[in-house]
Copies of this chain bind each other. A is one copy, B any other.
Amino acid sequence: MNETMVTLVGNAATAVEFRETATGGMARFRFAVTPRRRDRETQLWTDGPTSFYTVWAWRALAANLAGSVAIGEPLVVHGRLKVREEERDGGRRTFVDVEAVAVGHDLSRGTAAFRRVARVEPA
């Protein structure tokens, strides 16, 4: 209840970092979203400032991200948004995380050959 779902359209800003854990695979990468707007006067498209997120994934999605996504590739990321604040090195740091539910290469930017992997239901 009250979870914040979000969909990001942008690009992988780092490679996917993958790790095996006791409860299965975990993947993590930075993600960049740059909105584009049409200038009202010139009618030209211009880039707005980029927002960065850390995307987290587990299990099958983590493994498939590690095997499919390279730095710079355009993606659609759908997941739960969380903002964490932590004390670090004597200062307060803010982290913006998305726990991914579904991720795909953005087909408005290229083509993809998909291969299904046998599905295991989350326990």
Contact = CB atoms under 8 A, between A and B. Distances in A.
Contact of A84 (B43, B49, B76, B108): B49
| Identical copies of this chain, number | 4
Interface residues of A, number: 69
Interface of A is mostly: strand
Interface in A100-115: 100-115
A87 interface: no
Given A94-B96, A109-B60, A2 B6 contact: no
Nearest to A85: B52
Interface of A: 1-10, 33-38, 40, 43, 45, 49, 51-53, 57, 60-61, 64-65, 67-70, 73-76, 78, 80-85, 91, 93-96, 100-117, 119, 121-122
A107 B106 CA distance: 12
Q: Which 5 A-B pairs have the closest CB atoms?
A: A104-B104, A51-B83, A94-B94, A61-B108, A110-B116
B112 A108 contact: no
A103 B103 contact: no
Contacts of A91: 91
